[in-house]
Chain A
Amino acid sequence: MKQKFNIIESTCVPLPLENVDTDQIIPARFLKATTRDESFFGENLFRDWRYDSKGNPIPTFVLNDPAYGGDILVAGRNFGSGSSREHAAWAIAGYGFKVVISSFFADIHKNNELNNFVLPVTVSEDFLAELFSTIAADPKARVRVDVPNQTVTNLSTGRSERFEINGYKKYCLMNALDDIDYLLQQKDKIEDYEKKTI
Chain B
Amino acid sequence: MNTLFDKIWDSHVVNNIEDGPQQLYIDRLYCHEVTSPQAFEGLRQRGIKCFRPEKIFCMPDHNTPTRNQDRPIEEPVSKKQVDTLAANAAEFGLSYYGMMDPRNGIIHVVGPERGLSLPGMTIVCGDSHTSTHGAVGAVAFGIGTSEVEMVMASQCILQQKPKSMRISIEGKLGKCVTAKDVALFLMSRITTSGATGYFVEYAGSVVRDMSMEGRLTLCNLSIEMGARGGFIAPDEKTFEYLKGREFAPKGEDWDKAVAYWKTLKSGDDAVFDRELVFDAAQIGPMVTYGTNPGMGMEISGTIPQEADIAPEGRKSFLKSLDYMGFQPGESLLGKKIDYVFLGACTNGRIEDFRAFASVVKGRRKADGVTAWLVPGSWEVRRQISEEGLDKELEAAGFEIRQPGCSACLAMNEDKIPAGKYSVSTSNRNFEGRQGPGSRTILASPLVAAAAAVTGRITDPRNI
Interface band, chain B: 35 or more
CB pair A32–B292 under 8 Å, yes or no, is: no
Residue A115 at the chain B interface, CB threshold 8 Å: yes
Residue A62 at the chain B interface, CB threshold 8 Å: no
A184 / chain B contacts, CB cutoff of 8 Å: 46, 48, 153-154
Give Cα distance in the complex from A187 to B23, angstroms.
12
Stretch from B212-220, B267-275, B425-433 at the A interface: B425-433
Residue A48 at the chain B interface, CB threshold 8 Å: yes
Stretch from A6-14, A134-142, A150-158, A174-182 at the B interface: A174-182
Least CB separation from B405: chain A residue:
A28
Partner of A35, one of B35, B41, B150: B41
Partner of B150, one of A17, A129, A180: A180
Residue B447 at the chain A interface, CB threshold 8 Å: no
CB pair A85–B436 under 8 Å, yes or no, is: no
Partner of A34, one of B17, B21, B37, B127: B37
B192 / chain A contacts, CB cutoff of 8 Å: 19, 78, 81
Residue B42 at the chain A interface, CB threshold 8 Å: yes
Contact with A along B362-402 (1 / 0, CB 8 A): 00000000000000000000000000000000000000000
Give Cα distance in the complex from A125 to B292, angstroms.
21
Given contacts A111-B144, A190-B156, contact A76 B34 (CB under 8 A): no
Least CB separation from B149: chain A residue:
A180
Residue B206 at the chain A interface, CB threshold 8 Å: no
Residue B437 at the chain A interface, CB threshold 8 Å: yes
CB pair A17–B38 under 8 Å, yes or no, is: no
Quick one: which of B5-41 are within 8 Å of A by CB?
11, 14-15, 17-21, 23, 25, 34-35, 37-38, 41
Give Cα distance in the complex from A106 to B153, angstroms.
26
Interface residues in chain B, defined as those with a beta carbon under 8 Å from any beta carbon in chain A = 11, 14-15, 17-21, 23, 25, 34-35, 37-38, 41-42, 46, 48, 51, 62-63, 77-78, 80-81, 84, 126-128, 142-147, 149-150, 153-156, 158-160, 162, 192-193, 196-197, 223-224, 226, 228, 292, 294, 312-313, 315-316, 319, 409-411, 418, 428, 430-433, 436-437
Give Cα distance in the complex from A54 to B21, angstroms.
45
Given contacts A115-B147, A179-B146, contact A82 B428 (CB under 8 A): yes
Tell me the minimal C-beta distance from B120 to chain A in angstroms: 11
Least CB separation from A78: chain B residue:
B193
Give Cα distance in the complex from A86 to B42, angstroms.
14
Give Cα distance in the complex from A40 to B366, angstroms.
43
Give Cα distance in the complex from A40 to B36, angstroms.
18
CB pair A19–B292 under 8 Å, yes or no, is: yes
CB pair A31–B153 under 8 Å, yes or no, is: no
A29 / chain B contacts, CB cutoff of 8 Å: 410-411, 436
Give Cα distance in the complex from A86 to B147, angstroms.
10
Interface centre among B146, B147, B432 (most CB of A within 10 A): B146
CB pair B127–A183 under 8 Å, yes or no, is: no
CB pair B433–A190 under 8 Å, yes or no, is: no
Give Cα distance in the complex from A180 to B156, angstroms.
10
Closest 10 CB pairs of A and B: A168-B20, A167-B19, A86-B144, A115-B146, A34-B37, A112-B144, A84-B142, A183-B154, A84-B128, A86-B145
Tell me the minimal C-beta distance from B223 to chain A in angstroms: 8
A58 / chain B contacts, CB cutoff of 8 Å: none
CB pair B156–A82 under 8 Å, yes or no, is: no
CB pair B144–A89 under 8 Å, yes or no, is: yes
Quick one: which of A19-59 are within 8 Å of B by CB?
19, 21, 23-24, 27-29, 31-36, 48, 53
A-B pairs with beta carbons under 8 A, tally: 191
CB pair A53–B21 under 8 Å, yes or no, is: no
Give Cα distance in the complex from A129 to B315, angstroms.
14
Give Cα distance in the complex from A17 to B320, angstroms.
11
Give Cα distance in the complex from A121 to B431, angstroms.
26
Tell me the minimal C-beta distance from B343 to chain A in angstroms: 16
B48 / chain A contacts, CB cutoff of 8 Å: 184
Given contacts A82-B430, A180-B42, contact A115 B17 (CB under 8 A): no
Residue A64 at the chain B interface, CB threshold 8 Å: no
Partner of A84, one of B126, B150, B411, B432: B126
CB pair A35–B149 under 8 Å, yes or no, is: no
Residue A160 at the chain B interface, CB threshold 8 Å: no
Partner of B142, one of A35, A108, A183: A108
Least CB separation from A105: chain B residue:
B196
Given contacts A19-B193, A78-B226, A190-B155, contact A168 B19 (CB under 8 A): yes
A89 / chain B contacts, CB cutoff of 8 Å: 144
CB pair B143–A48 under 8 Å, yes or no, is: no
Tell me the minimal C-beta distance from A48 to chain B in angstroms: 5
Residue A18 at the chain B interface, CB threshold 8 Å: yes
CB pair B316–A18 under 8 Å, yes or no, is: yes
Residue A149 at the chain B interface, CB threshold 8 Å: no
Least CB separation from B142: chain A residue:
A84
Give Cα distance in the complex from A169 to B153, angstroms.
19
Residue A83 at the chain B interface, CB threshold 8 Å: yes
Give Cα distance in the complex from A151 to B154, angstroms.
34
Least CB separation from B42: chain A residue:
A180
CB pair B15–A186 under 8 Å, yes or no, is: yes
Q: 4 more A-B contacts (CB under 8 A) besides A34-B81, A48-B436, A166-B20? A: A35-B38, A82-B223, A106-B193, A106-B196
A35 / chain B contacts, CB cutoff of 8 Å: 37-38, 41
Least CB separation from B145: chain A residue:
A86
A193 / chain B contacts, CB cutoff of 8 Å: 14, 25
Tell me the minimal C-beta distance from A161 to chain B in angstroms: 18
Interface centre among B144, B197, B312 (most CB of A within 10 A): B144
Give Cα distance in the complex from A19 to B37, angstroms.
28
Tell me the minimal C-beta distance from A11 to chain B in angstroms: 22
Partner of B428, one of A23, A33, A180: A23
Give Cα distance in the complex from A84 to B337, angstroms.
30
CB pair B126–A86 under 8 Å, yes or no, is: yes
Residue A104 at the chain B interface, CB threshold 8 Å: yes
CB pair A32–B316 under 8 Å, yes or no, is: no
